[in-house]
Structure formats: structure tokens, C-alpha cells
Structure 1
């Protein structure tokens, strides 16, 4: 059963608050981060495929401004800044090393199926997304977003559900744009408090537009290279 907009936003805010509170307790990065980033902040080989909305140029600039603020305050604890040209919002995760060791077979199985679904859902439709602030994603820091009305929420969730025929996703969907990955190191109380304060203090009040012409099936080689397949 799909949540209505108020419930959806309420759940997102709850998850955001929980992510921040965890920073003040005993949080350390998810194990998967160690597969994605080395201790020098370089991105490791981590192959997979995914369905994403690439952001429009105007919105990439907005996100870049927030990213710069974040790195000016927390750059010592973050991997190399993600490239502006690849800023995106994931609609549906598919294959990666967390799901299967048979990556090539997984990709081969998805490619044509994804093409057919994209052909069905590609359109001139747009969804306005409003930010709910920064949150701690476990492996990375991102800007959390929600659609601004019920119709657009339904469109987003219905489109996402179509890709469940490739690989089903049962987790609650958190629309977000990733700003930067953590370094895979141990974080003490002082640093976690600094991260918490930074995420709370940065004003990430912005709106972006998801354009369905920019919805794509891509293969990534690491967390900063996304290659179009069609």
C-alpha cells in the first residue's frame, strides 16, 4: 500500500532524524563503504547498474553549492568530491557487489528488460522535489527530498515499482542526491558531534526538478562514474 504525501514526508523526516541521532551515539560507516572507498578517499572499483534521474544543469549548480559548503566544513572526513556532471537521484538500485558476485550475469539479465521499461515510462513529465535537509546515509551524506504533491508522489513510486520486475526493492524509498562519501575510518565522539552539527547547521533548502527525459539505465564502475547504456 502506497503512503499518502503527508505520511511519506513524515516517514522521511523520521528517518532523517534517526540518522542524525545515531551520529551522537556509536555510529560508524556501513561495511559496504569499505568496498567503495579507500582510506585516501579514492573510489574503488565497485561495479553495478541502476536507474537514475540525471539532474538538470541548473539543479546541479544548486547541489554543487551545498556540496562546497559541506566539504569546506567536513572535507577531512570525506572522500574525493563527487563529480558535478554525474549528480543524480537514484530511482531504483539493481545489481552491485552487495547483491551478487555474478555481476556480469546480473547486468546482462537487466539490460534489455530495463530498456523496455524505460521506453514505457520515458515522457515529458516532470516532478518537483523539495529538500528536507541533509542526512547521514550511513556510507555517505546526502540531501533528502520529497515530491511536492500527491500526484507526483504516486508517479514517482509507480515508476519505481515497475523496475521491481528486475530486482525487487523492499526498503522504504528515500529520494536523495548524494553529496559525498565518508572516509572508511573510525569516527570518535568528537568527530561524530562535528558531523552532526554540520548536517544540522547547513541550510539545504532547495527545489529541483526530476525530468523523465533524464531517467536512464546506467552502469557504474565506481561511485563517481555512471555510463549511459542506450
Structure 2
């Protein structure tokens, strides 16, 4: 079902179902995704990962709230995880050209980016015209992991209006660069280390996640003007190319 055809309750229900499934069914045996090998080394250092993406940057207040969750999690399980730079914290709208969906060839990725970039800019101009001054409120379901690569905060829109706006942004980028993937609003906090996780480590991690989530009350507010198109060179190196707010300002 296309996102734009889902009602707010339907969209929320699917996100809650996925979150609950991730929390109720830890991977067994634990297996790190081969894709993660493209992003980090076994020692936890960032590897070159060239591409483009569209994200909404967090306000300082919301960034600090997400960082507080990260600090609590890493304070107990930092030996299992690789942290992402808090300065990069964002909610992804739609990934674009990268190693995963083009090829492990920077020249091919560059050509794909050059082809896609004008289309993204055109959509950003339309978004600036239509949604000037608008925000999207998101409620945190909690911090979770599918066990393969990312650990992060999962979110659902707070209202029908928030759902419609968020899914419209996603569908616009999907039309520019179709991936056919499920959209799960999230803020990535880190990656799993590329090593075997013992059953005891996994059990301890999930116990901590459940404890954090029971106590977590977090709502963030995203400004559409902060939707940015970025190039990334590794997962702690995102560089803005243009943003919706520039087209609001420049007309």
C-alpha cells in the first residue's frame, strides 16, 4: 500500500507493529548485515561511503534529547556499538544514490547524483512554496534495532496532518528516485560493532532498551524548512548542498 493512500491510523499501526516485532523477537543467532561492512571497519572506524540523501535536521532541543538517550544506551553497552556524531543527527526522508542502490563505484554514483540532483532541487522548490512555515510533530516509540546494523529512535507522526505532510515529502522523493522500500521514520544513534554478540550481551542490550523505552516520553518537532539535500562521504560526514529554507528565502 502506497504511503499516500494510508490513513494516519494505518501508517501508525504498521510502524508500531514493526517496532514491537523488533523488540519482541531479537535476532537469533545474531547476524550483522553484510551491508554494514560498507560503512564501518571491524574496529569501528567509518569507511568511505559516498552518496546523496534528503533529511530533516533536528532542532538543538530535539538533538539534545536524542543525545541523552544515546548517552544512556552507550553508557551501558558502548562496547557493542559504534556512535554516530550527534552533529549529524537527522530524520531521514529518503536516501538517494549510494553504494547500496547504484554500485560500489564512485564514478557511477557521481553520475547518478548528477542526474538526480536537478529533480530533487525542483521538488524542494515546490515544497518551499507549498509548505512554508510548516512543521511535523513526531512521537518516539522508543529506541530499537533490527539487529543487523542500525540502532536508533523510531518515531510515528502525532496527527493525521503530520502524517500527510511527512508522507508527501517521502513520496515526492520516491518519485524522483524510486527505491520501493518501506519508510520507517527514525533517528540513527549508532551501528552495531562488526563482531559476534553473545546471547548474554544481546539479552542485556534488549533489557536496557526495554527499560529506556518504559521511561521515555519524547516528542520532536521538525521544520520543513530544515529539509536538506546532502552529499555524504562517510556516515559522520554529511555536507549540505541546498535546503528548502534557501528557496523560501530566495523565492
TM over 0.5: yes
In structure 2, C-alpha distance between the alignment counterparts of 1:144 and 1:110, rounded to whole Å: 28
TM-score (ref. length: structure 2) = 0.87
Does the 8 Å CA contact 2:56/2:223 hold for their aligned counterparts? yes
Does the 8 Å CA contact 1:134/1:204 hold for their aligned counterparts? no
Q: State the partner residue of 2:144.
A: 135
Does the 8 Å CA contact 2:30/2:196 hold for their aligned counterparts? no
Structure 1 unmatched runs, 5+:
none
In structure 2, C-alpha distance between the alignment counterparts of 1:226 and 1:176, rounded to whole Å: 17
My pick for the range that moved more, 18-27 or 139-148, is 18-27
Shift of 1:180: 0.9
Q: State the partner residue of 2:63.
A: 60
Shift of 1:24: 5.1
Structure 2 unmatched runs, 5+:
243-251
Shift of 1:20: 2.5
My pick for the range that moved more, 219-228 or 198-207, is 198-207
Q: State the partner residue of 1:83.
A: 85
In structure 2, C-alpha distance between the alignment counterparts of 1:213 and 1:70, rounded to whole Å: 31
Q: Deviations over 1:176-217 (max 9, x none)?
A: 001111111122211211221121111332011110110011
Q: Greater CA radius of gyration, 1 or 2?
A: 2
In structure 1, C-alpha distance between the alignment counterparts of 2:145 and 2:49, rounded to whole Å: 21
Q: State the partner residue of 2:240.
A: 228
Shift of 1:170: 2.0
Shift of 1:220: 0.7
Q: Deviations over 1:13-45 (max 9, x none)?
A: 211122223425223221111111112111111
In structure 1, C-alpha distance between the alignment counterparts of 2:160 and 2:36, rounded to whole Å: 34
Closer, same or farther in 2 for the Cα pair 1:182/1:46, shift >3 Å? same
Query: Are 1:187 and 2:197 counterparts?
Result: yes
My pick for the range that moved more, 140-149 or 19-28, is 19-28
Question: Which runs of structure 1 show a deviation greater than 4 angstroms over 4 or more consecutive aligned residues?
Answer: none
Paired residue for 1:37, among 21, 40, 45?
Answer: 40
TM-score (ref. length: structure 1) = 0.95
